[in-house]
Amino acid sequence: MRLLSVIALTVFLGMGCASRPQQTTVPRRARAQTAEARVAFADALQQMKTGECDRAVTSFDRVVEIFPDSRYVSASLYNAGLCLQRLERWRESTERYERLLRLRPGSRDTKHTRFQLAFLYVETRRFDEALETTDLLLGHTGLTSDERSEVMARRAEAWLGRGELDAAAAEAREALLYHRTRSEEERIRDPFFVASASYTLAETVRLRSESIVIPPAAVEAQRAVLERRAGLLLEAQRTYFDTIRLTDAYWASAAGYRIGSMYDRFWDAIMTAPVPPAGRAMTSAELAIYRQEYRLRLAELAQPLIRHAIRYWELTLAMVQRTGVRSEWTGRIEADLEAARARLRKFADRADHRKVIMARAPQKLPPPD
């Protein structure tokens, strides 16, 4: 995820201390306090710039506590929130931003604060608050194309988090349509949130696919269910490919991981599906052999799914190496890739063992003339 205001940190911080107090009407004591607040804020800002976020948070909090009427309150709370985000202390960061909106509702930092809160609410699964905050952001006049793209992508994420797949898909499609219909002057310059919306759309299709359960039924009925699930898998794969084409390294890695994981999960679904009933009456021993043979045959047919998963994960890791952008998706890919390779080796060992057993089995003699 991105922190919009971290990227443009110097701009936002400058906004927080750009105005000047009216020196001619402020009493001497108040002027002294204003000067002290300015020095304290500058010290906190310097700590933030040098990466001393723990100290900076304490210093910004002190500005708010000691100088509650100063013009540095809004910027101090905002910067403390940013520092806490860097430290991934989501709850404390959220508290600073929410306090800013309560204490300084008309602050020039309000819009950017809501952008940060939208991220944090999604990150901490407070999806109702995320939707409420993005509604407020859409009401802001003068949003840039990139900002509106971010808001729409956040809304799609929030709907997805709530489990409302139709609403998430609709919001994601609207975000993608907004991207495609911008003029050259209005074009979205950073593909991050466009790719996020595309990824969310793919996720809605994947979740629909993986919600399909293979029933304990005859082979023909199971095949129809598998074909429906496979059709959605391919639709999701196409949308993940669309995400990769948007060339954002983070979301491309996420999409590559999901493509591989879909094949891996499809394999699991097939291999754990109920065995169809036998076509004739069998003893318990015969039934055990029938089920074992069915699983082995199914594994042979489904083996390409593991190879597909391995291939897509290997391609995604190669892309990560080219771009140099590692994320949490990289670790997932590496772990699941090794597990898939081990599963493939285990399957190959079982297949070889089965061939040996079959070769040693006595051959049925032809009937006598």
Q: What are the tens digits of pLDDT across the range 222-277?
A: 889 989 999 999 999 999 999 999 989 999 999 999 999 998 898 888 888 888 88
pLDDT for residue 348: 65
- Which pLDDT score, from 0 to 100, does residue 335 have? 87
> Where does the pLDDT of residue 355 fall: very low under 50, low under 70, confident under 90, or very high at 90 and above?
very low
- Report pLDDT for 3: 46
What is the structure's pLDDT at 110? Answer: 95
130 part of a folded domain: no
Which residues have a Cβ under 8 Å from the Cβ of 42 and sit 6 or more positions away? Answer: none
In this predicted structure, the answer to whether residue 7 has a pLDDT above a threshold of 80 is no
pLDDT at 362: 40
| Model confidence pLDDT, tens digit, residues 185-194 | 999 999 999 9
Q: What number of H helices and E strands is found in the chain? A: 15, 0
In angstroms, the Cα distances linking 187 to 122, 141, 250, 295 are: 26, 18, 21, 53
Mean pLDDT of the chain: 85
Predicted pLDDT of residue 25? 53
The answer as to whether 51 is a domain residue is no
CB atoms under 10 Å from CB of 302, counted, come to 18
> What pLDDT score does 30 carry?
60
Give the per-residue pLDDT at 351. Answer: 52
Average pLDDT over residues 99-111: 95
Residue 233 belongs to a domain:
yes
Q: Is 107 left (phi over 0), alpha (psi -120 to 50) or beta?
A: beta
* Contact indicator for 172, 154 with CB cutoff of 8 Å: no
Q: pLDDT exceeding 70 applies to what percent of the chain? A: 85
**Which pLDDT score is estimated for 343?**
80
Cβ 111 vs Cβ 12: under 8 Å: no
Report the range of poorest mean pLDDT among 19-23, 49-53, 68-72: 19-23
DSSP reduced 3-state for 23: coil
User: Does 77 reside within a domain?
Assistant: no
Q: Is the pLDDT of residue 33 over 80?
A: no
* Listed range (114-128, 201-215, 262-276) with the worst mean pLDDT: 262-276
Q: Is residue 368 part of a domain?
A: no
pLDDT reading at 151 higher than 60:
yes
User: What confidence score (pLDDT) does residue 21 get?
Assistant: 35
Q: Is the pLDDT of residue 361 over 80?
A: no
In this predicted structure, the answer to whether residue 309 has a pLDDT above a threshold of 50 is: yes
- Specify the pLDDT at position 31: 66
pLDDT of residue 365 exceeding 80, the answer is: no
Q: Which domain holds residue 262?
A: 190-275+285-356
How far apart are the C-alpha atoms of 296 and 350, rounded to whole Å? 9
* pLDDT computed for residue 32 by the predictor: 65
Instruction: Give the per-residue pLDDT at 282.
Output: 85
pLDDT of residue 185: 94
Residue 176 lies in a domain: no
What pLDDT is stored for residue 27 in this prediction?
Answer: 62
Residue 237 lies in a domain: yes
Q: Is there a contact between 191 and 248 (Cβ–Cβ < 8 Å)?
A: yes
Q: Say if residue 152 is exposed, middle or buried (CB neighbours under 10 Å; 0-12, 13-18, 19+).
A: buried
- The pLDDT, as a whole number, for residue 173 is 98
* Cβ pair 221, 297 in contact under 8 A: no
Is residue 55 within 8 A of residue 83, CB to CB? The reply is no
Q: Which range is least confidently modeled, 67-76, 213-222, 294-303, 328-337?
A: 294-303
CA-nearest of 241, 263, 268 to 311 is: 263
User: Judging by beta carbons within 10 Å of its beta carbon (0-12, 13-18, 19+), is residue 109 exposed, middle or buried?
Assistant: buried
Residue 144: pLDDT band by 50, 70, 90 thresholds?
very high
- Evaluated on CA atoms 24, 25, 28, 32, the torsion sign reads negative
Q: CA–CA separation, 253 vs 244, rounded Å?
A: 8
Number of structural domains (the chain) is 1
Report pLDDT digits (tens) over 58-83.
999 999 999 999 999 999 999 999 99
> Has residue 342 been placed in a domain?
yes
Tokens of 287: 């039934």
